[in-house]
Amino acid sequence: MNTTGSFANYRGLRSVTLLAAALIIAVAGAACGSSQPTTIVIYVTPRPTPIIIYVTPSPTAGATGTATASPSRSASPSRSASAVPSKSPSGTTSAGPTSPAALCTGGSGNQPEFVRAANTLTFDVYCGRLGKGWGLSISPGMSWAATKSGGWLKIGYQGPGGATVDVAEGAFCFTSPGACSPNTGNLGTGMFAGLSGDLDSTVDGFAIYVNPGTKSAYQITCKGLSQATFQSIAASLVPVPKS
């Protein structure tokens, strides 16, 4: 039986025990031999602060359904947009005439010229109000001038089938009144707008003359129209208001 190792271990253990006992006696002796208390410092490690992490759950299939419902809410703006055009008819109704000569045949490009003539010439200016297919002719078209004798205005209209209507106003024939009202016979009374004049026949049509040869003369002649149509056009002439 080998006891050498066991004895050596016992010996070592005894030495450690004796050393610990000596240290305890020394500490006790130091405490008894001194009047000052021994300070014992204890270091306490603080508890770690917990960290809280909030995790948002991932969208479920139900959230996708909510997203698809959002386009249905866009239907309300579409209803509000449909109400906007309903205001435009009211604005159109309240709009006034584009020109004092809006009733004059010839289009918006020529209507301002009728207004300028009416505001410049001393006599009343009239224009034609003809139906579909009528317009200002290339010659004479519409022309006017303010002169010492009072001024004049001439208008030429071209219609369907080559029919023509010519209007003259003012002192257009003041110097030679006899040559300004050619006719082949008198047919009675005719109306130039609201003015009463002589209704005559001509070589190729009809004519109405009011105050011929004066500074405020008016005449209307035609070619290619029946008497009834001509008289209707003459009576439908409209005055251009002065502004």
Contact 156, 166 (CB under 8 A): yes
Q: Which residues span the domain enclosing 200?
A: 111-239
Which residues on adjacent β-strands are paired with residue 219? Answer: 168, 209
Count up the domains in the chain and report the number. 1
Higher pLDDT, 175 or 20: 175
Q: Does 37 fall in a domain?
A: no
Q: Does 215 fall in a domain?
A: yes
Per-residue pLDDT tens over the stretch 83-111? 433 443 333 333 334 577 888 998 778 88
Tell me how far apart the terminal alpha carbons of the chain are, to the nearest angstrom. 148
Q: Does 48 fall in a domain?
A: no
Q: Is 213 exposed, middle or buried (0-12, 13-18, 19+ CB in 10 A)?
A: middle
Q: Does 115 fall in a domain?
A: yes
Q: Is 217 exposed, middle or buried (0-12, 13-18, 19+ CB in 10 A)?
A: buried
Q: Which residues of 4-13 are buried (b: 16+ CB within 10 A; e: fewer)?
A: eeeeeeeeee
Higher pLDDT, 212 or 19: 212
Least confident piece of the model among 6-20, 41-55, 116-130, 212-226: 6-20
Q: Does 2 fall in a domain?
A: no
Residue found under tokens 């770690």:
48
- Which pLDDT does position 203 carry in this prediction? 94
Residue 237 makes CB contacts below 8 A (sequence gap 6+) with 126, 127, 128, 129, 167, 192, 193, 220
Higher pLDDT, 126 or 1: 126
Give the CATH number for residue 129.
3.40.1000
Higher pLDDT, 158 or 41: 158
Q: How many whole angstroms from its chain centre is CA 196?
A: 48
φ/ψ of residue 221, rounded to 5 = -130, 160
Residue 162 token pair: 């080559």
Residue 180 token pair: 């300004």
Residue 171 token pair: 């002192």
- Which pLDDT does position 116 carry in this prediction? 94
